[in-house]
Structure 1
């Protein structure tokens, strides 16, 4: 995609053999999931068991969850190493299986391996809480791709190693047609989820001088063209003509003018029951006239993490093609303190007709999302999910561990939380009491864009929810989870692509409910 995202895709396949002979495979590393019980009862291949016993006795490898240990295998054909991955004493959840796979991928990256083979126990389901082949296949595939992600480097001298290229699942014994189909579906879904998450990571990691609103627009249009989606881009003149005063105001201070991006996915014959996905696309946020502190401002390249997330979802929908209708809207701008920048005390009129009193120009995300929500509704959306790196306050409440959620519809929220449990992406609901809505009132306008420090993560979300016009809506504040300072679970240091998998999972669950 012309440099907008460049993560290499991993080819994933499966082979089922009556007799499993690892030596015949042209791979550089062989991955084996190990439990202490499996070593003790001799259910593993003898070649692995004979290697594991000394490791266990010397306490080098105890098969603890997510523990990895690589052992060179000189003279054993084309493959050079076995990577043992600990499964622990009890069956793993799908999230734990996903993390174990990510750890194996990271171990393989250290070895600069390109081709891997994963030996599946017969059946692998003995390791899985869900006891579901499709879930297991999806989790391992996701973990391998997410764990093998590498941040693009801009150094003069870079390695020629391009990462993991191939993963082969190997299983000894006969397999039913139903189980084979489950594995195929799981692998396909795992690849779609993980590759789309890596797309979002790549976009979010781009330096601010590489990704201004026009660049984000080009990346979005490439995704739309790739999948044959209907799309449109509104420039600054069209935004002004239509009355998108919020987006125009936020973008005025930059030499790079604002844009509004729209992509439609129509998976049903009739354009009805449309979900609106609205992502915050502030490609760099200085805070504007209400300038941020110098320390940490470099991380504001991630302030378009919401836009990256919804683009990732659209890419996944293009691959999986569910029978649903979705309209994606990204209001994108740079928030800069230029001579023409909007100022504290300004009154601006949004596309909805509501006026907004600006008390803090660093509370710009909710202002552009207001116009994005209204535009999505005009395009037919009847329920909404907005995604934004919105507030520092959510970091105070939830750190970088969980995404904050605000909603006006408890049923929609319950369905979304169930989806998040399946993907392993943590979300936590915040209350939306009437008193919080009242805090948004202004003496001189319909709304104030800042309510102070108290309840800030909640009121910021409710500001956006105002523009849902009473229709079902969920707000996801990913300010803490979109960009992290150290590797954890399936996430690398830097951009995580958070919420791509959970939103996609929720959308697919909506399709399933209609069948």
Structure 2
């Protein structure tokens, strides 16, 4: 799909389709007024007839509108003008592309002045529109014997602005939107693959391919390498699987080698049965998405490489399956982590923190500016925040606020939960330094408390994406989150570096 930015108003434009906004009570936007004038009241007559009243996300496609250079005009309902906010904008944009994908429209023109949002510049609207457009085309049918192969005919989107002085900034926003969307698509593809295909070895191969294409440095540590490093916690999870575990490391250099990197650590459990603490059979197929943290790291690395951001970035992915077998770790086992801390494994289904803790210790060797781990870690986070919001905990309030701000900027929001020392007592063990679970209460927080014991040497934040990484039901599939949040955070960091 091609995108372009254009300076201009509707009366001088031409194309296959123009999108015009209508507020409730049939109030026309400025673009609608312009077209109504040159069509000698045609738009107003349509509204007066009652076919379009401007209610939110309603639409009406007009053909052969007299006096214009457009073959079609799509009227899109924007709801009440005084209530038009970010959510309404995103809903309208998604409605536009959902409608157009069902038509033969090949190119479309949107006038950004039709979508007034306080405190949101055209750059924000452009990046969000690009992401929504590419998302509307996404479909995962590569494992079907007869792919649907019906992505629609829409191939070109022109976004019109009024002020030429904004052109450079808007074009940059368009490129950022494209990079984020491409990163999300990679993340979605990896998450949606069947777990017999997307194994730890497959993830390692994809990382190496990404490194080759975008001139990154890739290192893959095998189980024997992890044994030498003393990663007893990570290897305890891998023990029950026939698939060999991998520790995948990708390095992107956008600054001098003297600059310390930002490190992303993504949980890569390519399938999670729960191990000996076996999960219920219902919906266990969705545990192929338990590598979504890993997928988001790869997607973010792709986005950063495409934009050539001025940051040094390291992605670390501990990848394994969690399977029950005669070799599998048992509840009650005690293992020694790379940090030297011993862990009593009370529940083998709390495996994500066991692989992350060794990866977080491994991150120390990079002398990181900050470390962010991303993991589908706890069902408790889904109960607390639902499927809309990512859980955030951090040992550094400034870092937490920066991540929250990035999520707000790209409509990929997170919410901060406390990480107070009082919660640490829930992880006490009679037989080891720490237990891997803390009981029924505050499960999301105690999981982060566990990880915090391995992050004392650097600034660290934890993103629990258990509720946001994928959708269930008829729309089952990876969401591509939190690639937008992470990428926007890194865009901001690159501006600080410059």
Q: Number of paired residues?
A: 494
> Does the Cα contact within 8 Å between 1:100 and 1:143 map onto a contact in 2?
no
- Alignment of 1:495 onto 2:478: yes
Matched position secondary structure for 1:305: helix
Give the alignment partner of residue 64 of structure 1, picking from 55, 59, 82. Answer: 55
Shift of the alpha carbon at 1:153? Answer: 5.3
Structure 2 equivalent of residue 149 of structure 1: 138
CA distance in 2, matches of 1:40, 1:71: 18
How far the C-alpha of 1:298 sits from its partner, in A, is: 0.9
* 2:92 is the alignment partner of 1:100: yes
Q: CA deviation at 1:467?
A: 1.1
Q: Deviations over 1:287-344 (max 9, x none)?
A: 0110000111011111011111111111111011221111110000011112211111
Residue of structure 1 in register with 2:75 after alignment: 84
Q: Verify: 1:38 aligned to 2:21, yes or no.
A: no
- 1:434 Cα offset (Å): 1.3
CA distance in 2, matches of 1:324, 1:48: 51
Q: Please give the residue correspondences for 1:28-427 in structure 2 after superposition, counting only pairs within 5 Å.
A: 29-35=17-23, 36-38=26-28, 43-46=33-36, 52-53=43-44, 55-57=46-48, 59-73=50-64, 81-88=72-79, 89-90=81-82, 92-94=84-86, 96-111=88-103, 113=105, 115-120=106-111, 123=113, 127-130=116-119, 132-152=121-141, 154-163=143-152, 166-169=155-158, 171=160, 175-176=163-164, 178-427=165-414
Does structure 2 conserve the Cα–Cα contact (< 8 Å) formed by 1:359 and 1:450? yes
Cα 1:294–1:111 change in 2 (3 A) is same
Determine the structure 1 residue equivalent to 2:455. Answer: 468
Q: Structure 1: how far apart are the matches of 2:313 and 2:102?
A: 40
Tell me the distance in 1 between the aligned counterparts of 2:63 and 2:299: 38
Q: Distance in 1 between matches of 2:177 and 2:356?
A: 30
The secondary structure found in structure 2 opposite 1:69 is strand
Quickly say closer, same or farther: Cα 1:409–1:41, change in 2 above 3 A.
closer
Which residue number in structure 2 is paired with residue 5 of structure 1?
none
Give the drift of 1:48: 7.5
SS in 2 for 1:262: strand
8 Å CA contact retained: 1:95, 1:423: no
The 3-state SS of whatever aligns with 1:290 is coil
**1:484 corresponds to:** 471
Deviations along 1:158-201, whole A, 9 cap, x unmatched?
3343445522315487x52x321122111111111122112211
Render the CA deviation track for 1:442-480: whole Å, top value 9, x for unaligned: 222121111111111110112112211242111111111
Gap runs ≥5 in structure 1: 1-9
Larger mean Cα displacement after TM superposition, 505-514 or 494-503: 505-514
Conservation of the 8 A alpha-carbon contact between 1:259 and 1:333: yes
Distance 1:166 1:356, change over 3 A: same
Is contact 2:20–2:29 with CA below 8 Å preserved after alignment?
A: no
Residue 200 of structure 2 contacts residue 243 of structure 2 at CA under 8 Å; is this kept in 1? yes
Structure 2 SS opposite 1:45: helix
Q: TM-score, normalising length from structure 1?
A: 0.88
Q: Which residue of 2 aligns with 1:504?
A: 487
TM-score, length of structure 2 as denominator length: 0.91
Unaligned runs of 5+ in 2: none
C-alpha separation in 1, matches of 2:280 and 2:427: 26
Change (3 A) 1:392 1:48: farther
Deviation at 1:60, TM superposition (A): 4.1
Distance 2:104 2:241 in 1: 43
SS state of the match for residue 403, structure 2?
A: helix
